[in-house]
Amino acid sequence: MTKTTCQSLAATIAAKAEKVYLNDPAPALVEYAVRRGEGTLSADGAFVADTGIFTGRSVKDKFIVRDEKTENLVWWDNANAMTPARFDALLEDFVAALDGCEVFHQQLYAGAELRHQNNIAVLTPSAWHALFIRNLLIRPAAAALEGFAPDITIVHNPGFRADPKKHGTNSDTVIALDLSRNIVLIGGTAYAGEIKKSVFSIFNFHAPSQGVLPMHCSANVGKDGDTALFFGLSGTGKTTLSTDPARVLIGDDEHGWSDDGVFNLEGGCYAKTINLSAKAEPEIHGATKAFGTVLENVVLHPETREPDFADGSKTENTRAAYPLYVLDNVSRTGTGPTPTNVVLLTADAFGVLPPIARLNPEQAIYHFLSGYTAKVAGTERGVTEPQATFSACFGAPFMSLHPTVYGRMLKKRLKDSLAECWLINTGWTGGPYGVGRRISIKDTRRLLDAALSGELVNTETRIDPVFGFAVPRAVEGVDAALLNPRETWADKHAYDRQSEKLVALFEANFAKFGAADAQVAEAGPRLAVAAE
């Protein structure tokens, strides 16, 4: 196979396919997917897919081509390397595997800001995966598709099996990114999130050189034009808190921060649905009922076909993928002004952190680089007590460059914008998981509203003796005792021991960021202080 470019790859596959379904809309894709036995319909008309043994990302199977362009830029401690020759062999076999197949070809945009928009071509033999990515990315107007030339081409084939000996992979599953040619190959897994996160990984590599900070966050804007960013790992409430009826949603998951403001990389949402409640999350719950929404690994009642969002028998990582336009209160441009507030979310299962704290810029970067949350007992085999999880920039698997690159960019953006920074804990209080209680969504929303409205900027605070950040002493509508987590514990010495344990974990994790600014490194908690 001759040296393939991003632009020629789609044409090569199309020429060998039995039939190409180009830019078919959601109704046609749903029809094809049902007819081909790829899934079923819920009572409300959502398409329900089962991804088999892969119900999440295959982190160990992701590779980046190591070449002249990536050699000195990619964060190799966080990525598997693949030689250009291995990638070319893999690419040739991917193309051959689609020879004579029906191929669904979607031409889409990534990036709502025109100056930083990329043309994306996705080719797959699976109708429902084409529907998924059509929901998640930005759908061009028909007239804009004339002469469409892809900047990024993704070849997706869940039935493909890589050969570790030939292709240099770790298994027969592979997600391979050539960042010089912007070609992505995904095979051996039906988990649809691999497609969208590959787009984000490429964006993370190229955006900084264009002066754009890539962010794994959600964003919304208030009636006065005040943009808020929400960083947080899975289970911290990022989607729930940003989907607010009182504020306009810019986007759910992936954004860029340019000199002109914030823009959504996508055109849809990929929301977790485990234990989804119509009362607590009415907008997301309503979106699961929209025709064309993709429900991933959600269990249906065998007779009524109503989704059972409490059923995690397949996975706790059940998902709904839907276009933003099914929501009422959503930005039609996918853009917003320079942020006024930056919110870092964590679900602290140790019961140590306060429900809200105000951060100075150095503290904000420390916690941004740390990317802390905690897994609770029972969520994974062998997890019997809370376990700290640190994911740099709240999205380490997708950060193609070293985290400190993004940290320095965020620090400059915060300095230039004068944005307020907040740490919000949606986890436990009064004790760790299993002893204390989860902070209520009602209290979290009240604290968030107070932060975003400016109510907390001049309120009286105390400086946490261990973490050093400012914690409000009182917030109207919230029990004052909640704001001081040590006071919510019956055994104060047990709280101190738990605090020491968490601080030690923070310090051990941050040791790997030797390249971080000294002021940032000094902004973290101190074990010696905790011991006192």
Question: Considering 238, 255, 411, 413, which one is annotated as catalytic?
Answer: 238
**Contact present, 155 and 183 (Cβ < 8 Å):** yes
Q: Which of 61, 252, 253, 443 is an active site residue?
A: 253
Are the C-beta atoms of 312 and 305 separated by less than 8 Å? no
- Asked whether the predicted pLDDT for residue 5 surpasses 90, the reply is no
Confidence of residue 376 (pLDDT cuts 50, 70, 90): low
pLDDT tens digit string along 413-458? 999 999 999 999 999 999 999 899 999 999 999 999 999 999 998 8
Assess whether pLDDT exceeds 80 at residue 388.
Answer: yes
pLDDT over threshold 60, residue 240? yes
Q: Do domains 269-326 and 339-372+396-531 have the same CATH topology?
A: no
Give the model's pLDDT for residue 378.
40
The pLDDT of residue 243: 87
Report whether pLDDT(205) > 90. Answer: yes
How much is the mean pLDDT over the chain?
A: 93
Block residue for tokens 């620090």: 411
CATH class of 6-39+53-210: alpha beta
Domain boundaries, the chain: 6-39+53-210, 269-326, 339-372+396-531
Q: Which of these is catalytic: 4, 189, 239, 426?
A: 239
Secondary structure in 3-state letters for 223-254: CCCCEEEEECCCCCCHHHHHCCCCCEEEECCE
Collect all residues with Cβ–Cβ distance below 8 Å to 446 and sequence separation of at least 6.
Answer: 475, 477, 478
Active-site residue 197, yes or no?
yes
Task: Select which of 319, 402, 408, 411 is catalytic.
Answer: 319
Is 239 catalytic? The answer is yes
- What are the pLDDT digits (tens) for 13-70? 999 999 999 999 999 999 999 999 999 999 999 999 999 999 999 999 999 999 999 9
Around Cβ 275, how many Cβ atoms within 10 Å?
Answer: 13
Q: From the candidates 105, 116, 129, 216, which is the catalytic residue?
A: 216
Strand partners, 187: 157, 174
* CB of 393 closer than 8 Å to CB of 216: yes
| Whether pLDDT at 2 is above 50 | no
User: One of 16, 44, 50, 57 is an active-site residue; which one?
Assistant: 57
Kindly tell me if the per-residue pLDDT of 385 is higher than 70: no
Check pLDDT > 90 for residue 328: no
Query: How much is the average pLDDT of 339-353?
Result: 97
Architecture of the domain delimited by 339-372+396-531:
Alpha-Beta Complex (3.90)
Residue of higher predicted confidence among 376 and 252: 252
> CA torsion, points 500, 502, 503, 505, in degrees to nearest 10?
120
* Distance (Å, whole) CA 504 – CA 195: 36
pLDDT of residue 17: 94
Strand partners, 334: none
On whether the CB atoms of residues 139 and 323 are closer than 8 A, the answer is: yes
Percentage of the chain lying above the pLDDT 90 cut: 87
- pLDDT score of 119 more than 70: yes
* 238 tagged catalytic: yes
Q: Per-residue pLDDT for 267 more than 60?
A: yes
pTM over 0.75: yes
Quote the CA–CA distance of 369 and 509 in Å, as a whole number.
10
Q: Mean per-residue pLDDT for 127-144?
A: 96
Which residue, chain included where needed, has tokens 């860029």? 256
pLDDT at 1 over 60: no
Place 197 in a pLDDT band, splitting at 50, 70 and 90.
Answer: very high
pLDDT at 528: 59
| pLDDT for residue 379 is more than 70 | no
Superfamily of domain 269-326: Phosphoenolpyruvate Carboxykinase, domain 2 (2.170.8.10)
Residue 332: other Cβ atoms inside 10 A: 9
Task: State yes or no: is 253 an active-site residue.
Answer: yes
Which entry of 234, 315, 459, 461 is annotated as an active-site residue? Answer: 234
